[in-house]
Amino acid sequence: MSIITLADDYIIRLVKEQDLSFILDIFNECVLDQSTLLYYETVTLDYIKEWYQLCHSKGYPAIVICNKITDQPIAYAYLTSAYPYPVFNLTTMLAIYISSAHRRRGLGRVLVSELLNMAKEQKFKNVIASTNTASVKLFESFKFQYCGKMEYWAYNFGRFIDGLTFQYIIQETNVQNQERPTFEPFQEESYKFIN
Ligand SMILES: CC(C)(COP(=O)(O)OP(=O)(O)OC[C@H]1O[C@@H](n2cnc3c(N)ncnc32)[C@H](O)[C@@H]1OP(=O)(O)O)[C@@H](O)C(=O)NCCC(=O)NCCS
Protein backbone atom coordinates (compact mmCIF):
# COMPACT_ATOMS: atom_id res chain seq x y z
CA MET A 1 0.00 0.00 0.00
CA SER A 2 1.46 3.39 -1.03
CA ILE A 3 2.24 5.89 1.71
CA ILE A 4 1.99 9.50 0.52
CA THR A 5 3.03 12.51 2.57
CA LEU A 6 1.13 15.74 3.10
CA ALA A 7 2.75 19.11 2.26
CA ASP A 8 3.65 21.41 5.17
CA ASP A 9 0.76 23.86 4.62
CA TYR A 10 -1.89 21.26 5.48
CA ILE A 11 -2.97 19.01 8.31
CA ILE A 12 -5.12 15.89 8.19
CA ARG A 13 -7.47 14.89 11.00
CA LEU A 14 -10.87 13.42 11.82
CA VAL A 15 -13.97 15.48 11.06
CA LYS A 16 -15.34 17.57 13.93
CA GLU A 17 -18.80 19.15 14.31
CA GLN A 18 -17.34 22.60 13.55
CA ASP A 19 -16.16 21.41 10.10
CA LEU A 20 -19.62 20.65 8.79
CA SER A 21 -20.39 24.06 7.24
CA PHE A 22 -17.07 23.92 5.33
CA ILE A 23 -17.83 20.37 4.23
CA LEU A 24 -21.20 21.64 3.00
CA ASP A 25 -19.43 24.24 0.85
CA ILE A 26 -16.97 21.68 -0.55
CA PHE A 27 -19.73 19.22 -1.42
CA ASN A 28 -22.03 21.84 -2.95
CA GLU A 29 -19.19 23.17 -5.06
CA CYS A 30 -18.78 19.63 -6.47
CA VAL A 31 -22.54 19.45 -7.14
CA LEU A 32 -22.46 22.77 -9.00
CA ASP A 33 -19.32 22.05 -11.04
CA GLN A 34 -20.79 18.60 -11.83
CA SER A 35 -17.78 16.75 -10.48
CA THR A 36 -20.18 14.82 -8.27
CA LEU A 37 -23.25 13.48 -9.99
CA LEU A 38 -25.25 12.44 -6.97
CA TYR A 39 -27.70 15.34 -6.84
CA TYR A 40 -29.52 17.71 -9.17
CA GLU A 41 -29.34 20.51 -6.62
CA THR A 42 -27.18 21.66 -3.74
CA VAL A 43 -27.82 20.08 -0.33
CA THR A 44 -28.48 21.69 3.06
CA LEU A 45 -26.46 21.73 6.27
CA ASP A 46 -28.98 19.30 7.78
CA TYR A 47 -28.07 16.79 5.07
CA ILE A 48 -24.36 17.08 5.97
CA LYS A 49 -25.16 16.76 9.70
CA GLU A 50 -27.11 13.61 8.99
CA TRP A 51 -24.22 12.22 6.91
CA TYR A 52 -21.80 12.92 9.78
CA GLN A 53 -24.04 11.33 12.39
CA LEU A 54 -24.46 8.28 10.19
CA CYS A 55 -20.67 7.88 9.79
CA HIS A 56 -20.34 7.98 13.57
CA SER A 57 -23.24 5.76 14.46
CA LYS A 58 -22.31 3.12 11.87
CA GLY A 59 -18.60 3.16 12.73
CA TYR A 60 -17.03 4.55 9.54
CA PRO A 61 -14.20 7.13 9.49
CA ALA A 62 -14.56 10.65 8.05
CA ILE A 63 -11.47 12.83 7.63
CA VAL A 64 -10.57 16.35 6.52
CA ILE A 65 -7.49 18.08 5.21
CA CYS A 66 -7.27 21.60 6.61
CA ASN A 67 -5.22 24.70 6.05
CA LYS A 68 -2.60 24.47 8.81
CA ILE A 69 -3.01 28.10 9.93
CA THR A 70 -6.80 28.52 9.80
CA ASP A 71 -7.71 24.87 10.56
CA GLN A 72 -10.34 25.30 7.84
CA PRO A 73 -11.20 22.15 5.85
CA ILE A 74 -10.49 22.28 2.11
CA ALA A 75 -11.03 18.57 1.42
CA TYR A 76 -12.81 15.66 3.03
CA ALA A 77 -13.14 11.93 2.53
CA TYR A 78 -14.78 8.96 4.16
CA LEU A 79 -15.51 5.27 4.06
CA THR A 80 -19.07 4.08 3.97
CA SER A 81 -21.21 0.99 3.56
CA ALA A 82 -21.10 -0.28 -0.02
CA TYR A 83 -24.29 -2.32 0.28
CA PRO A 84 -26.60 -2.40 3.33
CA TYR A 85 -26.56 -6.16 3.96
CA PRO A 86 -24.54 -8.14 6.51
CA VAL A 87 -22.80 -10.32 3.91
CA PHE A 88 -21.08 -7.16 2.67
CA ASN A 89 -19.60 -6.37 6.10
CA LEU A 90 -16.09 -6.64 4.70
CA THR A 91 -16.70 -4.37 1.71
CA THR A 92 -16.54 -0.60 1.98
CA MET A 93 -16.83 2.28 -0.47
CA LEU A 94 -14.70 5.42 -0.42
CA ALA A 95 -15.59 8.98 -1.35
CA ILE A 96 -13.34 12.04 -1.72
CA TYR A 97 -14.18 15.70 -2.26
CA ILE A 98 -11.61 18.44 -2.71
CA SER A 99 -12.34 22.14 -3.07
CA SER A 100 -11.53 23.19 -6.66
CA ALA A 101 -8.85 25.69 -5.60
CA HIS A 102 -6.87 22.88 -3.98
CA ARG A 103 -7.03 20.16 -6.64
CA ARG A 104 -3.97 18.75 -8.45
CA ARG A 105 -1.72 19.31 -5.44
CA GLY A 106 -1.56 15.71 -4.35
CA LEU A 107 -4.32 15.93 -1.71
CA GLY A 108 -6.37 13.25 -3.47
CA ARG A 109 -3.42 10.88 -3.18
CA VAL A 110 -3.01 11.66 0.52
CA LEU A 111 -6.69 11.00 1.20
CA VAL A 112 -6.76 7.71 -0.73
CA SER A 113 -3.61 6.60 1.06
CA GLU A 114 -5.11 7.42 4.48
CA LEU A 115 -8.47 5.80 3.70
CA LEU A 116 -6.76 2.60 2.54
CA ASN A 117 -4.81 2.53 5.77
CA MET A 118 -8.04 3.03 7.73
CA ALA A 119 -9.76 0.27 5.71
CA LYS A 120 -6.85 -2.02 6.52
CA GLU A 121 -7.15 -1.19 10.24
CA GLN A 122 -10.88 -1.93 10.10
CA LYS A 123 -10.10 -5.25 8.45
CA PHE A 124 -12.13 -4.67 5.33
CA LYS A 125 -11.25 -7.00 2.46
CA ASN A 126 -12.50 -4.87 -0.40
CA VAL A 127 -12.56 -1.10 -1.02
CA ILE A 128 -14.78 0.05 -3.89
CA ALA A 129 -14.55 3.32 -5.78
CA SER A 130 -17.19 4.38 -8.28
CA THR A 131 -16.41 7.26 -10.53
CA ASN A 132 -16.65 8.76 -13.98
CA THR A 133 -13.50 10.59 -15.11
CA ALA A 134 -11.13 12.77 -13.01
CA SER A 135 -10.28 10.19 -10.37
CA VAL A 136 -9.59 7.23 -12.68
CA LYS A 137 -5.83 7.84 -12.80
CA LEU A 138 -5.82 8.53 -9.08
CA PHE A 139 -7.28 5.09 -8.31
CA GLU A 140 -5.11 3.39 -10.91
CA SER A 141 -2.00 4.87 -9.31
CA PHE A 142 -2.90 2.94 -6.12
CA LYS A 143 -3.33 -0.25 -8.13
CA PHE A 144 -7.10 -0.33 -7.74
CA GLN A 145 -8.35 -2.91 -10.26
CA TYR A 146 -10.75 -1.77 -12.93
CA CYS A 147 -13.96 -3.83 -12.61
CA GLY A 148 -15.85 -2.49 -15.56
CA LYS A 149 -18.13 0.14 -16.97
CA MET A 150 -21.82 0.41 -16.30
CA GLU A 151 -23.50 2.22 -19.15
CA TYR A 152 -26.41 4.55 -18.39
CA TRP A 153 -25.29 4.44 -14.76
CA ALA A 154 -26.84 7.79 -13.84
CA TYR A 155 -28.80 10.57 -15.44
CA ASN A 156 -27.90 14.10 -14.53
CA PHE A 157 -27.60 17.49 -16.18
CA GLY A 158 -29.60 16.34 -19.19
CA ARG A 159 -27.55 13.29 -20.12
CA PHE A 160 -26.79 9.72 -19.20
CA ILE A 161 -23.46 9.10 -17.53
CA ASP A 162 -21.47 5.88 -17.57
CA GLY A 163 -20.02 4.65 -14.27
CA LEU A 164 -16.62 3.08 -13.80
CA THR A 165 -16.02 0.80 -10.86
CA PHE A 166 -12.64 0.08 -9.25
CA GLN A 167 -11.75 -2.17 -6.35
CA TYR A 168 -8.79 -2.45 -4.03
CA ILE A 169 -8.31 -5.80 -2.32
CA ILE A 170 -6.63 -5.74 1.08
CA GLN A 171 -4.34 -8.75 1.09
CA GLU A 172 -3.69 -8.58 4.85
CA THR A 173 -7.32 -9.22 5.79
CA ASN A 174 -7.81 -12.88 6.45
CA VAL A 175 -11.08 -14.22 7.83
CA GLN A 176 -10.66 -17.88 7.02
CA ASN A 177 -12.79 -20.21 9.15
CA GLN A 178 -15.08 -17.41 10.32
CA GLU A 179 -18.59 -18.23 9.33
CA ARG A 180 -19.88 -14.69 9.86
CA PRO A 181 -17.09 -12.12 10.03
CA THR A 182 -18.14 -9.18 12.14
CA PHE A 183 -17.92 -5.53 11.17
CA GLU A 184 -15.20 -3.80 13.17
CA PRO A 185 -16.17 -0.17 13.85
CA PHE A 186 -13.47 2.45 13.25
CA GLN A 187 -11.41 3.05 16.43
CA GLU A 188 -10.91 6.82 16.54
CA GLU A 189 -8.85 6.79 19.74
CA SER A 190 -6.25 4.29 18.63
CA TYR A 191 -5.93 5.23 14.95
CA LYS A 192 -2.51 6.63 13.98
CA PHE A 193 -2.58 8.96 10.97
CA ILE A 194 0.11 8.37 8.35
CA ASN A 195 0.65 12.13 8.08
C1 LIG B 1 -10.86 13.55 -8.22
C2 LIG B 1 -10.18 14.35 -7.12
C3 LIG B 1 -10.48 13.70 -5.77
C4 LIG B 1 -8.66 14.33 -7.37
O5 LIG B 1 -8.02 14.98 -6.30
P6 LIG B 1 -6.67 15.82 -6.49
O7 LIG B 1 -6.19 16.29 -5.17
O8 LIG B 1 -6.86 16.83 -7.53
O9 LIG B 1 -5.73 14.65 -7.02
P10 LIG B 1 -4.15 14.60 -6.93
O11 LIG B 1 -3.57 15.97 -7.04
O12 LIG B 1 -3.76 13.79 -5.75
O13 LIG B 1 -3.85 13.85 -8.29
C14 LIG B 1 -3.57 12.48 -8.37
C15 LIG B 1 -3.67 12.04 -9.81
O16 LIG B 1 -5.03 11.89 -10.19
C17 LIG B 1 -5.16 12.26 -11.58
N18 LIG B 1 -6.09 13.42 -11.69
C19 LIG B 1 -6.50 14.24 -10.70
N20 LIG B 1 -7.36 15.14 -11.19
C21 LIG B 1 -7.50 14.88 -12.51
C22 LIG B 1 -8.26 15.46 -13.56
N23 LIG B 1 -9.06 16.52 -13.35
N24 LIG B 1 -8.17 14.93 -14.79
C25 LIG B 1 -7.36 13.87 -15.04
N26 LIG B 1 -6.61 13.26 -14.07
C27 LIG B 1 -6.68 13.77 -12.83
C28 LIG B 1 -3.77 12.60 -12.08
O29 LIG B 1 -3.18 11.45 -12.61
C30 LIG B 1 -3.09 13.02 -10.81
O31 LIG B 1 -1.70 12.89 -10.85
P32 LIG B 1 -0.80 14.06 -11.48
O33 LIG B 1 -1.28 15.35 -10.93
O34 LIG B 1 0.58 13.68 -11.02
O35 LIG B 1 -1.00 13.95 -12.96
C36 LIG B 1 -10.65 15.84 -7.14
O37 LIG B 1 -10.53 16.33 -8.45
C38 LIG B 1 -12.08 16.03 -6.67
O39 LIG B 1 -12.34 16.19 -5.48
N40 LIG B 1 -13.04 16.01 -7.61
C41 LIG B 1 -14.44 16.20 -7.29
C42 LIG B 1 -15.10 15.01 -6.57
C43 LIG B 1 -14.74 13.66 -7.19
O44 LIG B 1 -14.79 13.49 -8.43
N45 LIG B 1 -14.39 12.68 -6.34
C46 LIG B 1 -13.93 11.37 -6.78
C47 LIG B 1 -14.97 10.33 -6.72
S48 LIG B 1 -15.27 9.76 -5.07
Nearest Cα residue to atom 21 of ligand 1 = 134
Per the confidence metrics, is the pTM higher than 0.85?
A: yes
Rounded to the nearest angstrom, the distance between the alpha carbon of 169 and the centre of ligand 1 is 21
Residue 35 CB less than 6 A away from ligand 1:
yes
Taking only the tens place, the pLDDT of each residue in 25-83 is 999 999 998 888 789 999 999 999 999 999 999 999 999 999 999 999 999 999 999 99
Cα separation values, 138 from 96, 104, 113, Å: 11, 10, 11
pLDDT digits (tens, 9 = 90+) for 143-176: 999 999 999 999 988 999 999 999 999 999 998 8
**What would the pLDDT profile of 105-133 be if each residue is shown by its tens digit?**
999 999 999 999 999 999 999 999 998 77
How does strand 73-81 pair with strand 10-14? unpaired
Domains of the chain: 10-169 (3.40.630.30)
Is the pLDDT at 2 greater than 70? The verdict is no
Contacts of 161 (CB under 8 A, 6+ apart): 37, 132, 153, 154, 155
